[in-house]
Amino acid sequence: MATLRQVERIRELSRQGRSANEIQRQLQKEHLGMKRQRLLKYVREFKGRPAPREPFKYVPIKYRERRRIRIPRKQVAVYGSVNGQSRRVQLYGDGQSLYRAMILVMKRPPRQRFLTIGAGAIVANPPRYLERWRRWDERPKAES
């Protein structure tokens, strides 16, 4: 939290048309320094300016790696039974590759009883992971 004195000083300096950098420097000289993010919040409020829309853009490249935004991927489980024995494929991926992998697995059951695999790997090489001649049972006896 900022003290009342700090807030008053920021308001005063903003009215004089000083930039955030100048205000920060002045506050430090007066032993009223505060966190940059908090200072910017007050300066924006007093100057009536909105917060930047895409702050990610202004993060220097050397820090971007740590703050990389992870795109959530979809995870779909396809399960059923073959000759009364349950089989399950846990797929992860996104968009078209996941859809294609789902089609392939729905047509042919997997070789292993339990398989967790990326959608791209199945699409690239279906015979390696999927049975060629067997089919899923008509009425599956499998649990979630």
Partner 1 sequence: MRDPKLKANSDSVMLGDWDTDTVRLDFDNTILDEVKYWAFRACFWFKQDGFIILESSRKEYVVKRKGEVLHEWVRASYLVIFNRPAKWDLNVRIMNWVALQSKNAGLEQYVRMQCIKRSSTVRLGPKIDKPPPRVVYRYGKQDRQIRKLLETQEFILDALDMEEVD
**Could you give the CA distance from residue 134 to residue 83 in angstroms, rounded to a whole number?**
9
- As to burial, measured by CB atoms within 10 angstroms (0-12 exposed, 13-18 middle, 19+ buried), residue 44 is middle
| The binder of partner 1 chosen from 6, 23, 79, 130 (CB under 8 A) | 79
| For partner 1, the closer CB: 46 or 92 | 92
- 39 binding partner 1? (CB under 8 A): no
Instruction: Tell which one of 105, 115, 119, 122 touches partner 1 (CB under 8 A).
Output: 105
| Dist CA 125 CA 97 (whole Å) | 12
φ/ψ of 134, rounded to 5, equals: -85, 160
Tokens read off for 141: 């006896």
Under the binding rule (CB under 8 A), the answer on residue 69 touching partner 1 is no
For partner 1, give the closer residue by CB, 9 or 108: 108
Q: Which of residues 115-144 bind partner 1 (CB under 8 A)?
A: 116, 135-140, 142-144
Applying CB under 8 A, among 19, 28, 96, 125 the residue interacting with partner 1 is 96
Q: How far apart are CA 144 and CA 141, in angstroms?
A: 10
Q: Could you count the other beta carbons within 10 Å of the beta carbon of residue 80?
A: 19
Residues that bind partner 1 (CB under 8 A): 72, 74-80, 88, 90, 96, 98-99, 102-103, 105-107, 114, 116, 135-140, 142-144
